[in-house]
Structure 1
Amino acid sequence: MAKHTPMMEQYLSIKEQYQDAFLFFRLGDFYELFFEDAVKAAQELEITLTGRGGGAEERIPMCGVPYHSVDTYIAQLIDKGYKVAICEQMEDPKQAKGVVKREVTRLITPGTVMEGNFLTDKENNYLVAVYAVDGAAALAACDISTGEFYLTEVDSETALLDEILRYNPSEVIDCSQINRFSLKDMLAPHPIVLTFVSAPEADGGVDYDEQLARHFNEVAGAGHCSGNMLRATLGLLAYLKETQKRTMDHLHRIELYEPAAYMVLDQFTRRNLELVETIRDMSRKGSLLWMLDQTSTAMGGRLLRRWVDRPLLSKAAIEKRQQAVEVLYHEWLAREEIRRALKEVYDLERLAGRIAYGSASARDLIQLKSSLLAIPALKQQLEDIATTSNSLQEITAQLDACPDIVEIIDQGITDDPPLALKEGGLIKDGYDEYLDRLRTASRDGKQWIASLEKQEREATGIRSLKVGYNKVFGYYIEVTRANLAALPEGRYERKQTLANAERFITPELKEKEALILEADEKRTELEYQLFVEIRDKIAGQVKRLQDLALQVAAVDVIQSLAALAQERSYTKPAIVEDGRVEIADGRHPVVETVVAEQSFVPNDTHLLADGQQMMLITGPNMAGKSTYMRQVALIMIMAQLGSFVPAQKAVITPVDRIFTRIGAADDLVGGQSTFMVEMKEIEVTLRNANARSLVIIDELGRGTSTSEGMSIAQAVIEYLHDDVGCKTLVSTHYHELSHLEDTLDNLKNYHMAVEESGDSVVFLRKLIAGPADKSYGIYCAQIAGIPDRVIQRANHLLEEFVGSSEGGAHRLAANETAAFQSEPQQLDLFGTIEEPASTTEPAYSNERNGQSSVESQIVKKLKDADLMAMTPLDAINFVFELKKQLAK
């Protein structure tokens, strides 16, 4: 079997170490991929697949991309969840003996991206490590582009998934020796890359907190580091060391926190309330975060998202944020000046990260200088207004403008440096004496070259003679073939022949060329060396820069919330601890924003610790039930993250969790119907809700037969009322359930008001006390565009149904409440209630009911029909067929 060439042997040896990654192998000005990598990359990147000889009998599949545009192609692969190993040439090919030495300098994975063009400005890119054992799990989360590092511990699989999804990580590392398949199954429905590693063992004889402090200069937050937490941390750090091939010195600060300090928002609630993205198209626009975000900096946008993800539970912590927002709410002139200063600040967090990481460019340093120069004006504005806010005073005191860093950059880096780092033009004149001499030599030599062209034209009389340069042949004198005869004999030495010209060189030109090229080479090398020294000097101050970035981000979020509150006439909610949630004229913040040209109808909410804890809301589709319930949840979240809220007045008791069951969605991949998805979400709610929670359930019980749907709905309502005792909003089409107000002390009926005038119906979108008596489904079908003939037929059938079932329905509501509560019965459209089967008498006697055989069959079909699973048109056709049978 034919052997591969030495270079291909080198490639295969390196690829063996990175089997799960695309290996980008540097060859000159290209990164090449071979074998299966090439085939797959050509498909994913839509580039040409070629081949080359490599010593084997068959040509080796190959594709490549230019080195100067490689980031674009890497970004595409990372975005699709792949890993990329970057293999660089570690020596100059001109000086190498044999095969050029190559090494993988970095392994890029979805969770370890540093480059700005791979990242979204206002979103973190978290890498999460999990260590799970014995029913508990520790979680370490890190964004290496910003230097953030968080550590916590949870006590259940459900809590672990909630905490992982709170970070929305690009990649999760499983450091556990067990429970791996469980984590794999948990994350299967989510677009997250899962990587398995082994966590380094902790030192048994040393305190866990002491071991943690070895890796971090500072550990923030209360609490004690457990063994599991340390293993998750060590596993994450080991993975970063393996993939990044360098130290992570900018990860100097770790924050330990308790999940119980924040409101828990599970994946269903986050999706149903559209906190950071919409359900329809997964876009940011239309979400709560989109509506809240008036931040001026990228780091402010990321911090705001963290606040939305983690609403506070502590009354004192919430009021501290409120106080800061209130100051800027009233100081609108100072707020505008603050916004103006913030617009001059670049992404300090990621700039500091790249500086510490060693990947920052000269332009990054200029952006850092520009940002730092804006800090004094920002600090002055805050000092003038912060006297009434402890939070703002703390922030202002920590705004370090870093004048020494500004001076370092200003003295060394040119004001408009090039993007490339190894082509010169980075360092200012006067910064280094030797660099200045090299520049003078290069500049003088190039001036001599420029004057040479004029001299030679005069000496030869050839006006078209020119002096040129290229990287291959260096400097040359070019003369067209038509003028060759005019050249003095022996004056020039031929260097290159072209189709229409000849190129020459003189001994003097060759000497000057050597001096110029040597000066240029030394100059660019020295400039790069000086730039790295400046960057490393600033990297030693990266902790100051990250601390400053955190304070600037906080100012940005506070001014954003204040500007929004003033613009939308929001009010500061009173935070209490007596269980009350009272909202006067509350509004849905996102809907109100989207339909700004229309008037939004506000509604009140009254939920008490002792008394009205549950609201049962009935009424038709399109009347505003779902919007109302969502707005209550969003107002709670806004209040607990420290924002003002869209209401005339609000009194809020913080809730520890919000559970939602809203909207219809199936899970085709998981094999679950819409109804099963609903039941899964209800199951999560019933298992985890407590008296401090807020539960919101929209259209409880739909998706199955009427009797089963009402039975499930009533059972869930009773359980939440009697066993959990939490604040609950439930909407339903089953207005028959309104009788529960008579038996459940803390439940009150409400409905969305509707105004009827002749054939027209107007949804007033106003919540009023009492139950609804109609669903207005046919009217909703009419405004949806269903043909008039169908609508007329449906109205006619409805009249017949109402007439035939009127007696039975009233008897059920008035006389059978207790029976319905204990064992729900199937409603009969013809006025009877199904009785239990007997050994002596059929369950349904034709003689006793005076019905014919045909009528009995029709009744049986009605009882067996799953009307809730039918479309409106299917239901109309079904009823039409039954009526045809009755007419026979």
Structure 2
Amino acid sequence: MSTRSTQSPARKQYLEFKQQYPDAILLYQVGDFFETFDSDAYIMARELQIVRTTRSYSKGKERVPLAGIPTHALENYVGKLVQRGYKIVICEQVSSEVPKGREVVDRVVTRILTAGTLSEPNLLPARQNNYLVAIASGRTQTALATVDVSTGEFMVTWFTNADLPVALEAELQRLAPVECLLVEGSQSDTYQFPSRTMTVTHCPAYFFNVDTAQARLCRHFGVQSLDAYGCAHDPQAIAAAGAIIAYVEKMNSALLSLLTSLYSYSTHSFMVLDAHTQRNLDLLQSARSGSVQGSLLGVLDRTITPMGARQVRRTITQPLLDLRELTLRHAGVEELYERAALRNRFTQCLQTLGDLERVAGRIRQGTAVRNEVLGLLEYLAVVPLLRDLMQSCESELLLTLADELDPCSGVSDLIESALVRPQEEMEEGDEGRLIRPGFHADLDELFASIRDSRRWMVSLEMRERERTGIKSLKVGFNKVFGYYIEVSNANLKLIPDNYMRKQTLVNAERFITPDLKEHEARILTAVEQIEELERSIYLDLLRQIALSYQQLMTTAGAIARVDVLLSFAEVSAHQRYVRPTLELGHRLEIVDGRHPVVEYVLDGDVFIPNATQMDAEGSERVLLLTGPNMAGKSTYLRQVALITLLAQIGCFVPARRACIGLVDRIFTRVGAEDDIAAGKSTFMVEMEETATILHHATSHSLIVLDEIGRGTSTYDGLAIARAVVEYLHTTVQARTLFATHYHELAALANEMPHMHVYTMAINEDDEQGIVFLHRVIAGSTGKSFGIHVARLAGMPLAIVQRAEAYLHQLETGTGSVRALLQSPSAALTVASESAPALQHVAEATGQYRMQNVAPTAVQLAGDGDRGSWQSEEARAVALVAARAGRAAALDSIDVNAITPLDALNLLSLLQEK
């Protein structure tokens, strides 16, 4: 290994920088390439699929791993690395030549990029936020601070540690942060992070020190206390927000200028949607595909501006609880819904707008380029038109938003007077100007001096031709050699004595003169001064525009909200939605409701609507739903939840009519997967989700449960399902939809006055078989038609037929579940075509066989004087009694598998025999 004394100067310089950033990939500029070395080179080659090589940077023979990217492709490659969780440090050359007394060119770190501190437009997702969060935990509470440095959003909330796992996971699921800050030494697996792609960064403990954080926040906002920000008495909130400030300052201090305020909020100000519910309802992305297509966002997002697209995401995941605010939203949507011409005019205005939020942020940061500033000029030109449209409306919300629009005419006038458009035609000598003539006198003088020198150059060519008699003489310019006089070889004998040779070509020689050199120096000096002065003027222009930053952000926020209202109105009109009626009670009445996502995906195909009638204070508090597989139970459950959510985000709903009492939480337990990393089975995950619901639900909640207890044995599952239903009905008293294949639960309707039983309608046809009608009707069903679904899924025919035979055995009482499991190889044959019967029926111990059981025996056992048996086990025992006597029947009884009523009926039957 080479020692420091044998290393090249460039290698030494690189290692000095790398020592300062050991946890980052250091991109070290060497001419037209950014190079990486050592372990960084291996990462670059692997992640970017580029070539890794080696090179010697010492006097010894050691070769250093090397991988590089062209400087012009920097943003593209850096974006990929940051998205994969790497921190990038960019070290650029600031001189092209080695300064006197130095061994290597000067280099400085110009940028540090992490997933949560990006502000470059080409590295950011345009239609969603790029959140950085920090978590600070104490003995009694935990706080979550959030920032999007590209838009200036900065907010903080906190939870009691009792609510921590559920509440924090729900908020992280909603925000979908790209990077999370934790104090060093803390374990990442302490928290339930919804995304495995999120970068977790451990920061020094002093970042999270409450006293230091408070001082840091006060210094940043220029205040003496944090009372105005709502978190002065919450130490963990101060610690988390202070850590954000410290981290952003370390990564890119220029971004701090965008954080002008801190917003403290409570998650209880909105409808609570835990992480499972957000995923189960496919709010922002499809759980199946992971894409927006197939999600509620995919249906509702018809926003036009990037600000509106980000706002609609927040709106969907933060349903309102304030009835007045919801009424205002619905009224705004209704006016746009009913006035199609007005919608079209709004659309035309919004189509000319870009990302006003992020452009304003880059101007404030001082990094906006000319096209972005000129884009702002175009955006502001639309604001008066948009405001006029809004002021023509009757909606109180639209009129309020109109007052928040500020065209910032002073900003527009300043940009118009200062900047030259790239394609604008300019007078000779002003080509390539950034700053418009007349805006700055000193700059105009410099351009005038260049014009004068260039005119002298033109006249020089004519004068020298006349003076020398060389008609082909010409004056030219080369970036390498500067200005010159070119004379062909045939005319070299005619050149004057004051010509100094500068360059030799094949057919000509190039010369300079003292006068030419003097004017060249004037031009080159003026060009350098212009570049420096224009940059200074431009940065000053950005600072002047940034004085209106708050007005620009307020305007952008108002436009975003209008865009969302317009999107809701457009979707509602296209999909035939209706305005819901909202109230403070417990009703939930939906007439001809439709699933918004399924209907949208069907795209014109018929969707069967269904009604819902519930009231937590009335007779239908719990809706128990039975029915076959694939009949539409899960779709119906999600449909009710989504219609409720749509109503409370201010959108119209897919129904003929809807009246909804405000819901404080929506809970869903629909489907489950195991959590291998946490060592949890599918059933454990299901039970944990159910426990969360039972602990946190209130009488104002909406609870959707699908197949509770299915991950364990039949009797365990049935017992758990019944206990849960009883608790929700009697103790929680929330509006509950409970889908189940435990058809025995339907009998609970006789015991629970606020429970009603429904089923999914089917049509059994000899020719078509089973037809799912997808209608919810009153009543229950005793069949699940699982074998029919298996047939539809392409299960091998032999297995389907075998399953049908086993099912027939169980349903006719000619066998027990235990018998099937203990004698799996028993042959199943058909006794006759007209009356199929099982040839062999084995009771529990396997000691008794019955040949050719007659239909009358089945009827005697199943439908005799004692009535129908509640369990297949009891029916099988009755058959044994009929064919083999009381002793055999008593030996075959499994007392754990029959109900008390069946036991009494069996005892009576055996006594009679």
What is the aligned partner in structure 2 of residue 595 from structure 1?
602
Q: Counterpart of 1:726?
A: 734
Are the equivalent residues in 1 in contact too, given 2:590–2:655 (CA < 8 A)?
Answer: yes
Question: Is 2:628 the counterpart of 1:627?
Answer: no
Match of 1:9 in 2: 12
| C-alpha distance in 1 between matches for 2:277 and 2:15 | 48
Amino acid at match of 1:17: Q
Partner of 2:351: 343
User: Map of 1:666-677 to 2, 5 A cutoff?
Assistant: 666-677=674-685
Equivalence for 2:888: 850
Q: Which one of the candidate residues 558, 562, 573 is aligned to 1:566?
A: 573
The separation in 2 between residues aligned to 1:368 and 1:234, in whole angstroms, is: 32
Instruction: Note if 1:106 corresponds to 2:151.
Output: no
The alignment status of 1:393 with 2:399, answered yes or no, reads: yes
Name 1:146's counterpart in structure 2. Answer: 151
Aligned equivalents of 1:342, 1:129: Cα separation in 2: 35
User: Is residue 530 of structure 2 the alignment partner of residue 539 of structure 1?
Assistant: no
The range that moved more, 201-210 or 226-235, is: 201-210
- Cα distance, 1:718 vs structure 2: 2.4
Letter paired with 2:327: E
Structure 1 residues 498-647: aligned runs within 5 Å? 503-610=510-617, 611-647=619-655
Q: Residue 831 of structure 1: which of 854, 869, 876 is its match?
A: 876
Q: How far, CA to CA, are the matches of 2:358 and 2:219 in structure 1?
A: 27
Of residues 220, 235, 254, the one that matches 1:227 is 235
CA displacement, residues 409-465 of structure 1 (integer Å, 9 cap, x when unaligned) = 1001112379xxxx9532122222222232233345456656777888999999998
Residue 443 of structure 2 is matched in structure 1 by 435
48 and 269 in structure 1: CA distance in 2 versus 1, 3 angstrom threshold: same
CA distance change for structure 1 residues 37 and 426 in 2, over 3 Å: closer, same or farther? same
Which of 63, 66, 75 in structure 1 is aligned with 2:67?
Answer: 63
Distance 2:215 2:383 in 1: 41
> CA deviation digits over 1:843-878, x for unaligned, max 9?
xxx98563899xx8xx99x99xxxxxxxxxxxxxxx
Q: 1:269 to 1:321 in 2, by over 3 A?
A: same
Task: Read off the aligned partner of 2:779 and give its amino acid letter.
Answer: G
Runs (5+) with no aligned partner, structure 2: 425-430, 815-857, 898-913
Q: Is the 8 A contact 2:229 2:264 kept in 1?
A: yes
Q: Which of 389, 413, 418 lines up with 2:419 in the alignment?
A: 413
Q: Which amino acid aligns with 1:138?
A: A
Q: 1:666 touches 1:673 (CA, 8 Å); kept in 2?
A: yes
Where do 1:165-564 residues align within 5 Å?
165-175=173-183, 180-181=186-187, 184-187=190-193, 190-197=196-203, 198=205, 199=207, 201-203=209-211, 214=222, 225-246=233-254, 248-386=256-394, 389-416=395-422, 425-446=433-454, 469-476=477-484, 484-490=489-495, 493-497=500-504, 503-564=510-571
Residues 674 and 682, structure 2, Cα contact 8 Å, conserved in 1:
yes
Give 1:397 shift: 1.2
1:770 counterpart residue number: 779
2:57 maps to: 54
| Larger displacement relative to structure 2 (663-672 or 210-219) | 210-219
Q: Distance in 2 between matches of 1:225 and 1:461?
A: 90
The structure-2 alpha-carbon separation of the partners of 1:813 and 1:662, relative to structure 1 and needing over 3 Å to count, comes to: farther
SS of alignment partner, residue 647 of structure 1: coil
Is it true that 1:744 corresponds to 2:726 in the alignment? no
2:79 to 75, 81, 84: 75
In the alignment, structure 1 residue 87 sits paired with structure 2 residue 69: no
TM superposition shift of 1:201: 4.1
- Summarize the Cα distance change of 1:29–1:450 in structure 2 as closer, same or farther, 3 Å threshold: farther
The 8 Å contact of residues 272 and 665 in structure 2, kept in 1 or not, is answered as yes
**DSSP-derived class of the 1:739 partner:** helix
SS at match of 1:253: coil
> How far apart are the structure 2 equivalents of 1:666 and 1:106?
42
Does residue 696 (structure 1) correspond to residue 697 (structure 2)? The answer is no
Instruction: Report the CA distance shift for 1:75/1:392 in structure 2 as closer, same or farther (over 3 A).
Output: same
1:424–1:527: 8 Å Cα contact kept in structure 2? no
Q: CA deviation at 1:287?
A: 0.9
CA contact (8 A) 1:219 1:254 kept: no
Distance 1:833 1:90, change over 3 A: farther
TM-score by length of 2: 0.84
CA 279–427 in structure 1, closer or farther in 2 if over 3 Å, else same = same
Aligned to 2:35: 32
Q: d(CA) in 1 for partners of 2:191 and 2:368?
A: 39
Change (3 A) 1:538 1:758: same
Amino acid across the alignment from 1:803: T
Mapped partners of 2:473, 2:811: distance in 1:
104
* Greater mean deviation of Cα atoms: 788-797 or 202-211: 202-211
> Which has the higher mean CA deviation after the structures are superposed, 218-227 or 254-263?
218-227
CA distance in 2, matches of 1:424, 1:94: 31
For 1:589 and 1:269, the matched residues in 2 are separated by 16
Corresponding pairs, count:
830
- Per-residue CA deviations over 1:350-401 (Å, capped at 9, x if unaligned) read 0111111111111110111111110000001111113xx3322221112111
What is the 5 A alignment of 1:97-136? 97-98=101-102, 99-136=104-141
Return the letter of the residue paired with 2:438: G
Tell me the distance in 1 between the aligned counterparts of 2:698 and 2:312.
28
2:308, 2:559 within 8 Å by CA — same for their partners in 1? Answer: yes
Asked if 2 retains the 8 angstrom alpha-carbon contact of 1:405 and 1:538, the reply is: yes
Q: Deviations over 1:789-836 (max 9, x none)?
A: 55444444433332235888889998998xxxxxxxx853862499xx
Structure 1 counterpart SS, 2:813: helix
- Label 1:531 to 1:621 Cα distance change in 2 as closer, same or farther (>3 A): same
User: Which amino acid is the alignment partner of residue 126 of structure 1?
Assistant: Y
Q: Contact between 2:811 and 2:872, CA under 8 Å: does it hold in 1?
A: no
Q: Which piece of structure 1 moves more, 678-687 or 460-469?
A: 460-469
Q: Quickly say closer, same or farther: Cα 1:300–1:814, change in 2 above 3 A.
A: farther
Out of 789-798 and 721-730, give the one that drifted further: 789-798
- Cα deviation for residue 220 of structure 1 reads 7.6
Report the Cα offset of residue 336 of structure 1: 1.8
Deviates more, 1:688-697 or 1:371-380: 688-697
CA-CA distance at 1:185 after TM superposition: 4.7
Alpha-carbon displacement from aligned partner over 1:762-806 (angstroms, at most 9, x marks no partner)? 211111111123222222223333455554444444333322358
Partner of 2:811: 802
Q: Which has the larger radius of gyration?
A: 2
Give the letter aligned to residue 334 of structure 1.
L
CA–CA distance in structure 2, aligned partners of residues 513 and 404 of structure 1: 41
CA distance in 2, matches of 1:406, 1:461: 56
Equivalents in 1 of 2:42, 2:259: separation in Å? 38
Q: Does the 8 Å contact 1:376/1:401 carry over to 2?
A: yes
> Per the alignment, do residues 809 and 140 of structure 1 end up closer, same or farther by CA in structure 2, a change over 3 Å counting?
farther
Pick which of 210-219 and 711-720 moved more.
210-219
Q: What does the per-residue CA deviation read over 1:288-345, in whole Å, with 9 as the maximum and x for residues that have no partner?
A: 1111111111101111111111111122222222222222222332222122111122
**C-alpha separation between the residues in 2 aligned to 1:583 and 1:683?**
28
Secondary structure of 1:345 counterpart: coil
TM-superposed CA distance for 1:280, in Å, is 1.6
| Structure 1 pair 247–191 and aligned structure 2 pair: CA distance change class (3 A) | closer
Q: Give how far 1:90 is off.
A: 4.8
User: Does the 8 A contact of 1:460 with 1:487 survive in 2?
Assistant: no
* CA-based RMSD: 3.6
